[in-house]
Amino acid sequence: MSRQRFIALLVAALAVIVVALYVSTQRNAVREVHGLPLLPALAGELDSVTSLSVQKGSTTPSVTVHKQGEQWTVAERANYPADVAKLRNLLLALSEAKIREEKTSDPANYAIIGVEDPTKPGATGAQIEVLAKNAKVDVIVGKPVDQGNFVRRAGEKSSYIVEPGISFEAEPRYWIDTRLLNFSSDKIQSIQFKPDTGPAYTVHRVSEPVRKTDDGKKTPNPPGAPAATPGAPAAAPGAAPAPAAAPAAAATPAESAEPAVSKFVLEGVPSGRQAADSNSLAPSPTAFSNLNDEDVSAVAEIDFSKPSTVILTLSDASVITLTGVAVGEKRWIQVAAPQDATLGGKASGRAFEIASYRYDQIFRPLEQLLVPKPAPAEKPAAPVKPTPSAAKPAPSGTPPPPSAKKPATAPKP
């Protein structure tokens, strides 16, 4: 073998070895993606994030949560305050997602796992874009799988399975801060209700002194009512009532004063009707406790032409006015709170959708606060007429029944 041929064979062998090493290296590189962060640039930029958007089935984002000054707001809800906890959870999920394995790189298979083009109508997945001071990340989050999701980084062909899972919402209503009102019913002093139709009324709280008798029972002692004197004989039937005694300066040993209790009374009872008991008149304990909104809209977008109004006066003399309407299956309210600058600013120019059952607890019609009308008396049943067969006389020649025969008389002596 000549020297030149030997060198040629040696070069060819070295080339084969290089190619084999390259292929082996590439295969190892695919396997080594396991455990790598999905978005490595995001971890160090969490504190500088200024915007997060979700795009699904449209050429424009369906949700944009961005920072304005020191407050996070939802752009699609007229920059209403956003749920910061939900935003933080999604950013942490994106920064902590690790690649478990590589999947398809064929665009024809993207739709199967939900990582197709998110701008197409009906897209299964959604593209999440995060803007930070020194980074911008885009990732298409597809269908869930096991404990994670299929994903594809925008602009790349390879798709992956990442863990832990990435959960998010693509509708603006689920990104708003839902906290609206939160106070207990014992702070309410009065409620004025003006319905869109029907009679208005007022329910207000009154204090009622209570005295404890020697048998341990607590009884109300209305102002001006004479106190009973222990041991005094009862008046005889028909006797003239004794003159009222002067009010005692202090409670006797057998009858001690107790702290006053409060109850609700109703103004606006129709003639011939009676108000329900105080427990029924009192507002529901949960009516204004943790009252959350389910969506928010500009007031101009909701028809408030025929509203119902509830005016609440609280124990600190502050006033909250709620204006409500039913629009189809939804219930909307406006909130006015002149003494609460934070609530007033948050509610200004906005309408809030609340759950129907919470709406019904707040806007109660007068009939619910009255003793029910007695049921109408049932009419007596009409007498049953005898049938024609019972009125027919017996045919002639028919002997009378034994019971109809006259008893035989004894012969005269």
348: left (phi over 0), alpha (psi -120 to 50) or beta: beta
Burial 234-258 (b: 16+ CB within 10 A, else e): eeeeeeeeeeeeeeeeeeeeebeee
Residue 67 forms beta bridges with which residues? Answer: 72
The total of structural domains in the chain comes to 2
Q: In which domain, by residue range, is 323 found?
A: 180-224+253-368
Examine the domain organization and report whether 138 and 261 are in the same domain: no
Note the pLDDT tens digit of each residue in 277-309: 999 999 999 999 999 999 999 999 999 999 999
In a domain, residue 229? The reply is: no
Question: Can you give the pLDDT of all 413 residues of the chain as single tens digits?
Answer: 666 776 777 777 777 676 666 655 555 544 578 899 999 999 899 999 999 999 999 999 999 999 999 999 999 998 999 999 999 999 999 999 999 999 999 999 999 999 999 999 999 999 999 999 999 999 999 999 999 999 999 999 999 999 999 999 999 999 999 999 999 999 999 999 999 999 999 999 998 776 665 565 555 555 444 444 344 444 444 444 444 444 444 444 455 556 678 899 999 999 999 999 999 999 999 999 999 999 999 999 999 999 999 999 999 999 999 999 999 999 999 999 999 999 999 999 999 999 999 999 999 999 999 999 888 877 777 777 666 655 555 555 555 555 555 555 544 54
| pLDDT reported for residue 226 | 44
Examine the domain organization and report whether 114 and 259 are in the same domain: no
In a domain, residue 137? The reply is: yes
Calpha distance 244→170 (Å, rounded) = 75
Q: How many residues does the chain have?
A: 413
Examine the domain organization and report whether 193 and 283 are in the same domain: yes
Examine the domain organization and report whether 201 and 143 are in the same domain: no
Give the contacts of 159 (CB within 8 A, at least 6 positions apart).
Answer: 102, 103, 104, 105, 110, 113, 115, 142, 150, 151, 152
Examine the domain organization and report whether 123 and 191 are in the same domain: no
Examine the domain organization and report whether 123 and 187 are in the same domain: no
Angle, vertex CA 105, rays to CA 102 and CA 108, nearest 5: 135
Is residue 65 a contact partner of residue 50, using CB atoms and an 8 Å limit?
no
CA 339 to centroid of chain Cα atoms: 26
Examine the domain organization and report whether 90 and 214 are in the same domain: no
Residue that is last in its domain, among 155, 175, 195: 175
In a domain, residue 396? The reply is: no
In a domain, residue 265? The reply is: yes
The two tokens of residue 389 are 């067969």
In a domain, residue 140? The reply is: yes
In a domain, residue 258? The reply is: yes
| pLDDT reported for residue 388 | 61
Examine the domain organization and report whether 144 and 214 are in the same domain: no
Residue type (1 letter), 207: S
Examine the domain organization and report whether 116 and 198 are in the same domain: no
Examine the domain organization and report whether 147 and 217 are in the same domain: no
Examine the domain organization and report whether 355 and 270 are in the same domain: yes
In a domain, residue 154? The reply is: yes
In a domain, residue 403? The reply is: no
256: left (phi over 0), alpha (psi -120 to 50) or beta: beta
Examine the domain organization and report whether 192 and 168 are in the same domain: no
